[in-house]
Amino acid sequence: MFGFLKKKEPVQLNETLYAVATGELIPISDVNDPVFSQKMMGDGFAVLPESGAIYSPIVGEVLSVFQTKHAVGMKMANGLEILLHMGIDTVELNGTPFDIKVSEGTKVSQETQIAAVDLEAIKSAGKATDMVVVITNMDKVKSFELNKTGFVKAGDEVGLAKA
């Protein structure tokens, strides 16, 4: 009857990071953009995708979808905030190559498709297609491990981010 008498379910802390696409996973230091490669926004990784099906890098919730559709902000249950930035300098494309499948408040997991991206439209605009995953509140990170590089499939476990 009254919710305050019920025991709360324990929050499941899934600290795993997942590949957002099938393709080549690289450390963030290898991304061809100094804002990312010099970790100005935080640590993370990128996937050079073979296809435009882009999935969530975490189990958590969508905090924001950028108006230009090139980036989605998410939060893990442990409080870490994750930015999925689709392509390099793609803000200039005003959302054209991005079909976003989620909205603010959407609960996501590694099986949740975040976007369908027209990779050819990004390339023909002279932009790179790196799908960059960044932990933006590094001050809250106790440890970050990237356990896998090279070829990955969307949804593969690639690392851990602990708060």
Which residues 6+ apart lie within 8 Å of 152 measured at CB? 19, 22, 23, 24, 25, 47, 158
Catalytic residue, candidates 70, 75, 85, 101: 85
Query: What's the Cα-to-Cα distance from 143 to each of 31, 70, 95, 106, 123, rounded to whole Å?
Result: 21, 27, 34, 26, 35
85 labelled catalytic = yes
Q: Which residues are catalytic?
A: 85
